[in-house]
Amino acid sequence: MRNIYTALFVKDVESLLKRFPPKHGKVFGDHSTIVFNPSNLQGIEIGKELKVKIIGRAYDEYGDDLLVENPKSKNKYPHITLSRAEDAPPLYSQILFSKSAEENQMEYFDDENVEVVEGYNENNKIVS
């Protein structure tokens, strides 16, 4: 079975997690998805390095995510998942950001960014 997604991959995950310590046990912090299971890789600039702005952070009892500027993302709320609770619902980020916006629970940042490299992950092998 083919499992692929295009993304902006965080160059220094350890540094990002030090700046934003995860709130839950399942820790990620490695990418911002562009498209899950794309029909092709057209428009993906493999190896392109850039800095993306970190707009804010939202967390609750299930999730902990950074809202980022990822202009290629197809998500309503482009993000980097920092961590998840064991019992978190699947694909929780969009729920978390909708809830945070509604309840005004987002922490916003003026001058935070993260270095990323564009590429894709196919069957748990990153190409960037």
Residue 127 located in a structural domain: no
**Contact (Cβ atoms closer than 8 angstroms) between residue 9 and residue 116:** yes
Residue 128 located in a structural domain: no
CB 55 within 8 A of CB 27: no
pLDDT of residue 85: 97
- CATH code, domain carrying 86: 3.90.1740.10
* Residue 126 located in a structural domain: no
Domain count, the chain: 1
pLDDT digits (tens, 9 = 90+) for 28-86: 999 999 999 998 999 999 999 999 999 999 999 999 999 999 999 988 999 999 999 99
**Token pair for residue 104?**
């005004």
Range of the domain at 96: 4-121
Asked if residue 108 belongs to a domain, the reply is yes
- What's 89's DSSP letter? P
- Collapsing DSSP to helix, strand or coil, 100 comes out as helix
Angle at 37 between CA 9 and CA 33, to 5 degrees: 25
